[in-house]
Amino acid sequence: MTTTMPPTTSEPVLSAHGIRKSFATSDPPTEVLRGIDLEVATGEFLAVMGASGSGKSTLLYAISGLDRPDTGEIALEGKDLTALTEKEMSALRLHRMGFIFQQGYFLDNLTIRDNILLPALKAEPSGADAAVDELLERFGIDHIAGHGVTEVSGGQLQRASICRALATDPAVLFADEPTGALNSAMTEEVMTAIGDVHARGTTVVMVTHDPRVASRADRVVYLRDGDVVDETRLTGADPEQREHDLQDWLSRNGF
Ligand SMILES: Nc1ncnc2c1ncn2[C@@H]1O[C@H](COP(=O)(O)OP(=O)(O)OP(=O)(O)O)[C@@H](O)[C@H]1O
Ligand SMILES: [Mg+2]
């Protein structure tokens, strides 16, 4: 796998301004996102950290169109997400966004390969088969392509999630705790795969509570009570040093 980083341009692929969200179900309704501004540059790898309940998943869902904020503006590749109908939004999600979650959300009665192929066919039938085969090989799971989803390891399943997300060639890969259900060896395996996705130029926005995982990113923003309270940039090629720098930043700020 390659380790060269692509040039990150200053043009944001994703920009969000004044994002607010509360849930009516909580009494009194509490604001979970409290006016968040966030820009993600094309080709950037952004990690979102914060304590449990700080609003990380809610933010990810809002900026990726999986859920709508109460107020605020979100633009993906210059397109205003808040102006889209549900149908337009789901088409945009299918074609321009990829998603990885803690759990895979696979269809148990389909093979690994068919789970990956299905959304790819829906997005773009021509070339989908070849694209999926190329991804399976690239992420080292071509030998288990015909297996059922219960017959593979957690790390293999998460690499299949990455293949599924990439099969439609998204502008942004969104990941919510992609290693949350994995042991440390599988975490390394999946982070190497996500690092490879980024190295090839895909923008990645990843939620994680794990500093080791977050230290792979170019930039880390920290959420507290629904607000981005600080951010740091990570430079340098040495993974141990990056992790150390991030741990240091987190503890200096009391995060
Ligand atoms: N659909 C919902 N209905 C009501 N409240 C919700 C809903 N989704 C999230 N919340 C509340 O919003 C707050 C933020 O939740 P969110 O899932 O975004 O946190 P998080 O930072 O992702 O936490 P974790 O690290 O545990 O995943 C929490 O208090 C949660 O209970
Ligand atoms: Mg969450």
172 found inside a domain: yes
Ligand 1 centre to CA of 53 (Å) is 5
186 found inside a domain: yes
Give the residue, by CA position, lying nearest to ligand 1 atom 7.
23
Rounded to an integer, what distance in angstroms lies between the CA atom of residue 13 and that of residue 38? 11
State residue 58's pLDDT score.
Answer: 97
Partnered with residue 48 across adjacent β-strands are 207, 221
State residue 1's pLDDT score.
Answer: 41
Instruction: Let me know: does 46 contact 39? Beta carbons within 8 Å.
Output: no
13 found inside a domain: no
Beta pairing class for 227-233 and 71-76: unpaired
State residue 6's pLDDT score.
Answer: 53
Partnered with residue 219 across adjacent β-strands are 46, 233
29 lines ligand 1 (CB under 6 A): no
State residue 79's pLDDT score.
Answer: 94
State residue 30's pLDDT score.
Answer: 85
State residue 29's pLDDT score.
Answer: 78
53 lines ligand 1 (CB under 6 A): yes
State which residues form the domain around 174.
43-63+85-252
Q: CA 209 → CA 28, 241, 247, 255, distances in Å? A: 27, 18, 12, 11
Which ligand 1 atom sits nearest the alpha carbon of residue 207?
Answer: 22
Q: How many domains does the chain have?
A: 1
73 found inside a domain: no
226 lines ligand 1 (CB under 6 A): no
Residue 232 maps to which CATH number?
3.40.50.300
Instruction: Let me know: does 75 contact 62? Beta carbons within 8 Å.
Output: no
pTM over 0.85: yes
Ligand 2 centre to CA of 202 (Å) is 22
State residue 32's pLDDT score.
Answer: 96
52 lines ligand 1 (CB under 6 A): yes
Blockwise average pLDDT, block size 10, the chain, 255 residues: 51 96 83 97 98 97 95 96 94 96 94 97 94 96 97 95 95 96 94 94 97 97 97 94 97 96
